[in-house]
Structure formats: C-alpha cells, structure tokens
Structure 1
Amino acid sequence: METPILEYDDAGAGEPVVLIHGLGGSANVWGAQRSTLSREFRVLCPDLPGCGRSKPAQGISIETLVDDIVAFLDHVDIASAHFAGHSLGSVIVQHLAVRYPGRVRRIALVGPIQVPTEAGLKGLRDRAQKARGGELTAIADATVQAGTAAQTQSERPELAAFVRELVMRQDPEAYARTCEALCALAPAAIDTLSCPTLVITGDQDPTAPPALARAIADRISGSRFAMLPACGHWAPIERARLVSTLLLEHYLGDNP
C-alpha cells in the first residue's frame, strides 16, 4: 500500500524541526511552538493520516505512522531533523529514533507514553467503538474533562474549547483505527537512544503522569525532564509559552 503524503505547515528557515501531534489533534496543536521556533528554525508540522487536512489511510499502525513520517521527510528532502512529539506523537518519535537514528538530531517527548495502561487500553477500545458510532462529541467532552487541568477549564475556557473542537473534527474511522493502533503498541527500545532528549509532562497529566514520564526520561541516557505546573495532557496548548521556551532552549543546545 502506498504511503500517503501528509499535508503540513512549513514556516521559518534553518535547521529543520518536525512537530508531530497526538491522538485527536492536528498540526494546529503546535501553533504557538511553530510561531516561536520558526524564528530560529524551519518548522514543519504534519497532519497525521485522517487528521486535519491529511486523507485517511486504510491501515494504521505505529509502524505505518513512522513510515509516513519517513516518507514525509523524503518528500520535503530532509535527511535529518529535530523532533517533538505529543502523546501519540511521542510514541512515533520514540520508534522513529530507534529505527532511524541517523535521521534524528534532538528529540522532545511531550506527555509521553510507551504503552497504554490496562485502564488506558479499555478507554481506547471504548473510544474506537464510540467514534464508529458517531459519538465524537462525547469523546471530545470527555477528553476536555479528563485531559485538561482544572485551571485550564476554569480560567482558560477558550483553550478547553479548542481541544474540544480538535477532537470533534476528527475523521471517525481514522480516529478509531488510531486508537486500535495504540492498543497494539509495543514499547520502543528507548534504552538504546543516544540523541539529546527532553521529556515534558504536566503535573495534572492523567495519561503521562509525572512518575511515568520521569521513568521514561530515566531510561534515556542524558535526558532532561520538565514538569509543568497547572497543566494536563495538552501541554502544547495549556502551557504554550513554557513549552515553546523549553523546546527552543533544547534545540539551541550546545551538544551535537
């Protein structure tokens, strides 16, 4: 099956940075980071299959999503790049860095997971079923309620509404297939990674709680860990300025 060419945003000039969104998102998750990083770098934000402007794919797995990103890099003639991935995007970045270390310079894992918990597996299966049953609005409401910080919901309702809109706009079948891809996920061998790595999570992130995210960071030699205050799972949106600053400092670092 031919790998789809992903639609994407492309801003700035310089060393390339590729930002990969998570389940229920699109390239627009990275709007604030694209604006900040493009002052120093060429920033590319692809829409994964069935998300944003990209057409759905017939088969979706973590392996095909990694292949999609590699095909995307080839399409835009980029040999290697810095990467950041949010949630599902962090999984893609981990597997990409393990499979294709020569194509990765520095990586950042935001709200990272390796494999879903048992509760997470049940939730993903339920969401797949609901998506196919036309219940994306219910999924979006639950995503906001459980996935964003209490302060986001009470003090920044426009950010919570943006998260809700992102999820509501998903292609139902592509969303369901991506949920099932996460259910079939095998962990990446991150112990083998040697690229400079930054791990970021929110103090109220139920998907990548601080202890889990720190454990991921501890397995990657020389990585840095940052925990964001008053932040749920949607850190690039909920703590946009802080995430932008952390990524900029990371990519501008002195290490090779």
Structure 2
Amino acid sequence: MGIDDSTYVHGIHVVHDGPREAPPLVLVHGSGASGSSWGPVVPVLARRHHVIRVDLPGHGQSPPAASYDVPGQAAVLAAALDELALSSVTVAGHSSGGYIATALAEQRPDLVGALALISSGPSPDALLPQPAVLRALIAPPLGPLMWRVRSDAMLRRGVTAVCSRPVTVPDDVVDDARGISYRTFRTVLRRNTEYVAERNVPTRLEALDVPALVVFGTADPRWDPDAVRLYDGTPNTRVERLADVGHFPMLEAPAETGESLLRFLAATSR
C-alpha cells in the first residue's frame, strides 16, 4: 500500500496512506467522528492514491478550537493543505464533512479540484427524527450526564443506530469518539445547521465550478433519502444511490463506496 504515517499539520492530526507520489485524495469526517471513520475504505483507495485523512479541530487526536463554524474549520483545513504543499486536490467529506469540503472550495478554489459528498444532507428540513440513543446522548437536560457516563457499547450503538446494514464498529472509531467533549459536539452540530440554513448545499455546489459526486444511501435514517433528489439537477454533479445503505457507507458498504470514489477520481483526472 505504501506509506502509513501520522503527523500534526497546522495544529490538526493528519494520517497519510498510500504512495506520496500518487494523486492526492483528502478525506474529511463528519460530526463526532474522526479520520479513523474512513478506515475500512482506505485500503482500496490507497492502492491508487495518496490518501490524507484529517481529524478536524476538537475531534480524534486534534486539539479543541476557539470556534467550530464551518468556514473556520475549512480555513484550518486550507492552512494544513498549504503546509503540505497540495493544490487542486479531490476532497471527500462524509456527512457534515461534506460541508467543510464545500466551504473549502468556496474559500480556496485553488485547493479543490473536485468534491465528493457522502451522506451530506442538503438542507435542514431534510433531517429526520434522530434515533433514541443519539437523542439520549445529545439532548439536554440528560445529554451532558449521559455523555459523561457513556460506555463503549453505547458509543457503538450510536454508530450502528444510523446504519442500515450490520456493521462492526472499529475500536479506533470508538476510542476517537470518546475524546470529543459534549460542548464541542453540540457546538459543531449548531454550526453545521447554520451553514446549510444560510444556503443549502446544492445551491452552493451550483455556484462552484467544480465537478462533484454525491453518494447517498437509500436507507439513511439521519437524512431523508428522497432529499437527494435536490442534488439531481445540480450542474457538474453526479449522484449515486447505494441500495439498502444507511448513513455510514464507509462502514456499511466499504467496497461499493471505494469503487464509487475511484470511478469519480478516474473520470475527473482525464
């Protein structure tokens, strides 16, 4: 597979997989997760690409930040890519990571050659009622208490609750989730909502001159799967639906997800 190492770049934790001379692919995780959430799909991607996984501020092994607004997180990512001397890369974001990727393209079009959004809800009104285990962990007044006493089993249930297919949650995903504070998580969720409420994602993509791939599971329990139709008419955007897949395609269908990304990468590199 080539290299496999981790470092800190502009204050955030970054993991490299695959040969450095290969075309770069940046992977951005969603709220409450970390770069480790991409683990099952990395081996197939790293055979052909230099895969760069980041832990956003306050997530995984990255330290907290003063602000968690989406443009601010995108600016941190931009500074890290500058430090790595990367430009015109493909950036793939899972869930709210797709918002960070989109904001990066808005701020620094020189850094983003293509976008891939996986399970990224298009607008706030597409959000479904959340599974009970997530409500217990998030909603006040019990949320802070539940957050302090959460077990590994509860963290795993939090992941599997948004999946449609049976999954095995990797240990590093659980370990990284344990390190996120309740305040950080709640703040990140609010800032994500503000970003898509200001302007929905399809509208933002339409304003960008960047090829985009949108991947959505047809059984996503977090976002209304029918809402993916909002992306269908977006110029320069390809939509792929994964049958019977929930919110976490990288865990539920790593082979399908990896192949979708590879097809897109091959098409945009021509």
Structures share fold, TM-score greater than 0.5 = yes
Q: Following the alignment from structure 1 to structure 2, what is the Cα–Cα distance between the partners of residues 80 and 205?
A: 31
Check whether the contact 1:127–1:179 (CA below 8 A) recurs between aligned residues: no
Secondary structure of the residue aligned to 1:117 is: helix
Task: Assess, with a 3 A threshold, how the Cα gap between structure 1 residues 111 and 37 changes in structure 2: closer, same or farther.
Answer: same
Q: Match of 1:81?
A: 89
Aligned ranges 1:131-142 → 2 under 5 Å: 132-135=144-147, 137=150, 140=155
Whole-Å Cα distance in 2 between the matches of residues 78 and 113 of structure 1? Answer: 28
Structure 1 counterpart of 2:5:
none
Is residue 2:183 matched to residue 1:173? yes
RMSD: 3.0
- Alignment correspondent of 1:101: 109
For 1:195-242, what per-residue CA distance to the aligned partner results, in whole angstroms no more than 9, with x for missing partners?
Answer: 2211101111123333212312422x1321111122110111111111
Please list the CA deviations of residues 87-141 of structure 1 after superposition, one character each: whole Å capped at 9, or x if unmatched. Answer: 01011112222232222112110001233238669988x8264554452638846
Matching of residues 232-247 of structure 1 within 5 Å: 232-247=246-261
Q: In the TM superposition, what whole-angstrom CA distance separates every residue of 1:144-179 from its partner, at most 9, and x where no partner exists? A: 364111x32xxx3x2398866654442332212212
Give the AA of the match of 1:192.
Answer: A
Query: Shift of the alpha carbon at 1:252?
Result: 1.3
User: Counterparts of 2:27 and 2:16 in 1: how far apart (Å)?
Assistant: 11
CA distance in 2, matches of 1:202, 1:83: 19
Q: 1:174 to 1:192 in 2, by over 3 A?
A: same
Say if 2:217 and 2:244, in contact at 8 Å, map to a contact too: yes
SS in 2 for 1:215: helix
1:127 aligns with 2:138: yes
**What is the aligned-residue identity percentage?**
23
Output aligned runs, 1:213-228, within 5 Å.
Answer: 213-219=228-234, 221-228=235-242
Equivalent position of 1:117 in the other structure: 125
**Corresponding residue for residue 26 of structure 1:** 34
For the structure 1 residues 67 and 132, does the alpha-carbon distance in structure 2 shift closer, same or farther, using more than 3 Å as the test? farther
Structure 2: 5+ residue stretches without partners:
1-8
Number of residue-to-residue matches in the alignment = 248
> Are positions 1:64 and 2:72 aligned together?
yes
Aligned equivalents of 2:173 and 2:233: distance in 1? 30
Alignment check: 8 A CA contact 2:34 2:177 kept: no
| Separation of aligned partners in 1, 2:114 and 2:61 | 27
Distance 2:213 2:126 in 1: 26
With structure 2 as the length reference, what TM-score do the two structures score?
Answer: 0.80
Q: Within the alignment, does 1:251 sit opposite 2:265 as a pair?
A: yes
> What is the 5 A alignment of 1:139-150?
140=155, 143-144=158-159, 146-149=161-164
**Partner Cα separation in structure 2 for residue 226 and residue 97 of structure 1:** 21
Conserved 8 A contact 2:219-2:245: yes
Any conservation in 2 of the 1:148–1:233 contact (CA below 8 Å)? yes
Give the deviation of 1:5 after TM superposition.
Answer: 2.0
